[in-house]
Amino acid sequence: MHNTIYEQSGGSYTQVGDYLFPDLLPGTDERTVGPWGLRHLRWLRRNRRVTYINLLTTGKLPGYLTKIDGQAQEMFSRLIEQYAATEGITEQLKAEDQLAWVGRMNSIRERAEEVVLSELVYC
């Protein structure tokens, strides 16, 4: 027996504690989106409210965030490889002087992260 109009039209609820919340947009679980997508989501909520609301209400938000996350991860990996090759960081350096290798790779990771955030995540 359905109690509400929402349930009669096929809607469902999720119980959280003592409260029932309607399942308005199925499949919007943020845990399936990676770290780059979650950063972009926070940025959208703060800076592009209209775009965020449009994506949310049309149900396109999870797919959009997954796409951004994939592009950002690919760009990040590619930049790390390019920077390491340009600066001559090799496995031989890693074997000879691990501390220098770690320091240089951390520098590369930070620069690559900065580029990805400015070019893809926060725009």
Confirm whether 2 is domain-assigned: no
Confirm whether 14 is domain-assigned: no
**pTM (2 decimals)?**
0.72
Confirm whether 69 is domain-assigned: yes
Instruction: Give pLDDT tens digits for 59-116.
Output: 899 999 999 999 999 999 999 999 999 999 999 999 999 999 999 999 999 999 999 9
Confirm whether 12 is domain-assigned: no
d(CA 46, CA 28): 19
d(CA 97, CA 89): 11
Provide the percentage of residues in the chain whose pLDDT is more than 90: 67
Q: Which range marks the domain in which residue 59 is found? A: 25-121
d(CA 11, CA 5): 9
Inter-residue contact 81 to 112 (CB < 8 Å): no
Question: Residue 27: its pLDDT value, please?
Answer: 54
d(CA 109, CA 83): 9
- The structural domain count of the chain equals 1
Confirm whether 1 is domain-assigned: no
E-assigned strands of 11-118? 13-16, 19-22
Question: What's the average model confidence in pLDDT over 17-21?
Answer: 80
